[in-house]
Copies of this chain bind each other. A is one copy, B any other.
């Protein structure tokens, strides 16, 4: 996988740093800071897991009170499943940074990723804060992207720029996540920043929509982490009039850039999924509604039988057909269903397409990127989900003891 950390653009006014706190890992940075200028606006979305981690609860509370000035991120310990002590620790880490940085504790948002169920070694984290503050620089995105990694094999950094009323605006972003495959390495964090000024409500809508078609449309194994979070910060350093008209071309350009960045990060996460050897795009179309399309896509994406067949490059179309058939589509007319591997039609009229040959199927399945397309023949709704295959390495990685 390409390391994109060399070709990014910093976001004026947004400073980052990394430091080694020794929370779990030795000999590498495991703490990252992002500092936002005064007046920056932030939107965030969080995991829907009922057992959400302590930093998620604290970040939500702080977001409701104040505009964030610092994002404080650690790897190695998720501070999840830690009960009251976890909440105390997450709040204390914010207070410690606030005291050093001369801001309010509510202006700090905490994020944690790592092992579930162990208390946060708070003093180690706090010891690293002065260094992290001292190192804050606009061009430290690669350092921060590396510091938040857990089982990731590469840092994930995506940048986009576009012109708005004669000015060049930038969005830069980092994410970690080896594909939701390890909720004990609880799991996905993504941070996006732009120099644009954007109205708070529009920022929130924009992030919510972009997440829906990117991070919420990828799955490795169907497991949702206790710590997932995605933050979009608008620094307002570009000097533009704040984007506040959802119908404006400027907002449309911004929205498109956010969506592109989110999709690229999401794709990078799936590609980096531990054990993954294939990137699989599942497109369900001609569904009655979006929920139905998503149900079929998820059923395919979560089928261990399909995922093992993908690993083996085996065009075992009976497994895809069986998954579509059990996806709980009300009164599905199987004669109207069409299933394709890319452009190759494998199932039509309720059975094997007469023109399909095993050789043609195998040729498609040997590719590193595979598209499974299902047309239900019921309506106009469509959806896309990204996933990967299920390999020996998936079992190996997840069956290893937590040593």
Are the CB atoms of B395 and A391 closer together than 8 Å?
yes
Q: Give Cα distance in the complex from A85 to B349, angstroms.
A: 12
- The answer to whether the Cβ of A303 comes within 8 Å of any Cβ in the partner chain is yes
Q: Give Cα distance in the complex from A184 to B305, angstroms.
A: 9
| Given known contacts A318-B116, A319-B183, A322-B116, A398 and B51 CB-to-CB distance under 8 angstroms | no
| Given known contacts A314-B401, A347-B81, A322 and B390 CB-to-CB distance under 8 angstroms | no
Are the CB atoms of B400 and A312 closer together than 8 Å?
yes
Q: Give Cα distance in the complex from A51 to B390, angstroms.
A: 24
Chain B residues, CB < 8 A from A78: 318
Are the CB atoms of A351 and B319 closer together than 8 Å?
no
- The answer to whether the Cβ of A134 comes within 8 Å of any Cβ in the partner chain is no
CB closest residue in chain B, given A396: B392
Chain B residues, CB < 8 A from A350: 51, 81, 83
Are the CB atoms of B221 and A326 closer together than 8 Å?
no
Are the CB atoms of A117 and B352 closer together than 8 Å?
yes
Q: Mark the stretch among A27-35, A165-173, A191-199, A222-230 that contacts chain B.
A: A222-230
Chain B residues, CB < 8 A from A351: 81-83, 85-86, 117
Q: Give Cα distance in the complex from A320 to B137, angstroms.
A: 40
Q: In whole Å, how far is A226's beta carbon from the nearest beta carbon of chain B?
A: 5
- The answer to whether the Cβ of A99 comes within 8 Å of any Cβ in the partner chain is no
Residues 292-321 of chain A, each 1 if its beta carbon lies under 8 Å from chain B, else 0: 000000000011110011011010111101
Q: In whole Å, how far is A316's beta carbon from the nearest beta carbon of chain B?
A: 6
Q: In whole Å, how far is A2's beta carbon from the nearest beta carbon of chain B?
A: 28
Are the CB atoms of B81 and A329 closer together than 8 Å?
no
Most buried by B among A51, A226, A302: A51
Q: Of B85, B305, B400, which one neighbours A182 at CB under 8 angstroms?
A: B305
Are the CB atoms of B395 and A303 closer together than 8 Å?
no
Are the CB atoms of B52 and A325 closer together than 8 Å?
yes
Q: Give Cα distance in the complex from A329 to B302, angstroms.
A: 20
Q: Give Cα distance in the complex from A228 to B370, angstroms.
A: 30
CB closest residue in chain B, given A305: B223
Are the CB atoms of A399 and B326 closer together than 8 Å?
no
Q: Give Cα distance in the complex from A395 to B184, angstroms.
A: 22
Residues 203-234 of chain A, each 1 if its beta carbon lies under 8 Å from chain B, else 0: 00000000000000000011111100000000
Q: Of B224, B316, B326, which one neighbours A184 at CB under 8 angstroms?
A: B316
Are the CB atoms of B325 and A50 closer together than 8 Å?
yes
| A-B interface, 7 closest residue pairs, ranked by CB to CB distance from nearest | A116-B318, A51-B325, A83-B351, A312-B399, A308-B398, A49-B325, A224-B326
Contacts A51-B325, A223-B322, A312-B398 known; 17 new A-B pairs at CB < 8 A: A48-B326, A50-B324, A50-B329, A85-B351, A116-B319, A117-B317, A117-B352, A183-B318, A183-B319, A183-B322, A223-B304, A226-B321, A304-B390, A308-B394, A390-B395, A391-B395, A392-B395
11 A-B pairs whose Cβ atoms sit less than 8 Å apart in the complex? A48-B326, A49-B325, A50-B332, A51-B322, A115-B318, A184-B305, A223-B319, A223-B322, A224-B325, A224-B326, A304-B390
